[in-house]
Structure 1
Amino acid sequence: MRLGFTPEQEAFRLEAAAWLSAQLNGPFKMLRDLRSQSAMPDERRAWERALFDAGWSVIGWPKAHGGRGASLAEQVIFAEEYARAGAPGRMSHIGIELAGPTLIHFGSPEQQARFLPPISRGDEYWAQGYSEPGAGSDLGNVRTRARLDGDQWVIDGQKIWTSLAQFADWIFVLVRTEEGSRGTKGLSFLLVPIRQPGITIRPIRQMNGHAEFNETFFDGARTDAANVVGGVGNGWQVAMGLLAFERGVSTLGQQMGFVAEFDQIVAAAKANGAARDPLIRQRLAKAYAGLKIMRYASLRTLSADEGHSLSREASTHKIYWATWHRALGELAMDVLGQGGEIADSTDYAFPMLPNLFLSSRADTIYGGTNQIQRNLIAERALGLPREPRGDR
């Protein structure tokens, strides 16, 4: 097990850290430690273009598609330094980390040529159309439908929790294209322009006052027949491939952000006297130990494979960090006491630690609930028999 990085990888870290520091202490200072993923969209678009111009936008993509072909270790290093620098959440995250890799793996040459360049440049932004009111983690139960009308698909249905759809130009949608199909059969993966009369977006106001998520309604929305990825009826395979990207390297760099949150909790405990409580001290020690375990587990994953893919052990990352982070939010509120329940203003502008509590409640739900994660670990990592799924 390797507990560090090679000299070449550390040189890569210094290069990334220097560029990020220069930008976030200079022209993009206004974006440092930005809490809301929906704030300052114009400035964040400029940030995406700056990343592209400097060669940092899609470092994990193959060189043939405009990336650096960075190794897994280099991708993690950049994610760590990105979080350490207080850089804003990527407005193009869904395009770069989800849509792009999916098109690289499953897309046709024509689809790759059309969509990958504007994703990497930050010219076009994407949303994800998976979850529905009656089909959250159970994607095999989606009801949104699409039918061919000449050379176009016509789409009807509803998606929910579509992150940053209000800024998106395109949305990839898992739809049912075979009449009468059930479960994982008869699904297709469509690329749909989002700015059209057949699509309505309604923001969902969160507990912390932000509105990063949306309901998205399709009422006769249209997209070209060629905008199906992986072939008609192969949507389940493509959707599962995309989820593998979602649970990959993009989650590993979060740990630097977790360190900053933990340090703030410790500082608050010392400032208000909560650190004198032996139970609080015990929970702080447990949180610190959990953070270190998370770090070493990531390094263990890296040391097992120097290539570009994550090992089977990486399937445990999401359930571990999500559970740990949710508990960290609870610890933050117990350290703050009743004062942490009062917002600074009437628009629910909570400071960092109360916002941590509110936002971390969703960690064990989005991207696959803890229950779904346990199924994935059992079936895909351990090779255990699949659970009964009725007539699916």
Structure 2
Amino acid sequence: MAQAYTPGLMVSRGCRWRCRRLLPIAGDVPVKVGDVVSSQDVVARTFMPGDAVPVNLAKRLGVSASELSRSMLRPVGETVVLGETLARTKGFFGFFKSEFPSPMAGTIESISKVTGQVILRGEPIAVQVLAYINGTIVEVIPHEGVVVESDVALVQGIFGVGGEAFGKIAPVVPSPDDDLTAQVINPEHRGCVVVGGRRVTGDAVRRAIEVGVSAVVAGGIDDHDLRQILGYDLGVAVTGTEKLGTTIIVTEGFGEIAMAKRTFDLLIAHRGREASVNGATQIRAGVMRPEIVIPLAEPLPPDRRDAGRVAGALDLGSPIRIIREPYFGALGSVTRLPHEQVLLASESLARVVEVKLADGSNVTVPRANVELIEG
């Protein structure tokens, strides 16, 4: 039988997970294959060139571009400190000299006899790549990074903001139908991954940032609250670089959508365990999903790992989520995959899927309107 495919989310109680940890430019990899690492161990490091700052020094000193090099006190390649005199004119008979102090600490990269500009290069910026998860190094990519492997419980979300964060799983609501509000976040949640149920409110996010919570996870968030938290309308973009101080991950979508019970139960089962989270999201080509990764205490025997089903393959019984109105956010399972195309209300032809919803009702929707819940 031909397979149908759709984007999917992983929700797994136990799987073998590999992550590539790479530097942006060539550098040093201080670990080797077989090393056991923890999530915040440095597995690769390098130095990025500092910012280049042009200074029209000839104009500042009142000399011609061709004369600038004779006024420079330091040659190309030497370092200078903030406030150090870069250049000084001879003046007239030793008087009326002009000086220019360095606006930054760095290196003199070039002196132009044509434009009269001096390029200052800032101090190198140290870049360190962390292992991200507790695991074992299974591959070293020389001068670039590593691949870390571990047996983990995994939850992928629909949307997130903020980058990588670490902390203990801390559920703060009794059921997946309860909102995550500011009142349930306390100082003891500092450095934790706080798990709610339904919607996380804007006040709760602000409280989490104030307390120092590593991340908040909930079923949904109001787009108006998100806009106020960020200070701008996010639009369609790659997220993950936001500097909020707290990473936000929603597992179901925008609005008041309860977290799927299987997701909530999985997170509750790992209360108190260390987790690695990443809010980076990309919904176009090269899809990236926000994730909560919980390394397991003991390696899983092969027969207890989730089966390696083809990623994105729809089949009878596959758990799905509907991602378009009028059933947006509804969960269910596939009951039939008709091969023939069906005429939709929009008068276009499309392949459809028949779904039994969690409330027992049966609906037919376009295959493009569903998302597979994998695991």
TM-score (norm 2): 0.26
Structure number with the higher strand fraction is 2
User: Higher helix proportion, which one?
Assistant: 1
Task: Give the number of the structure whose alpha-carbon radius of gyration is greater.
Answer: 2
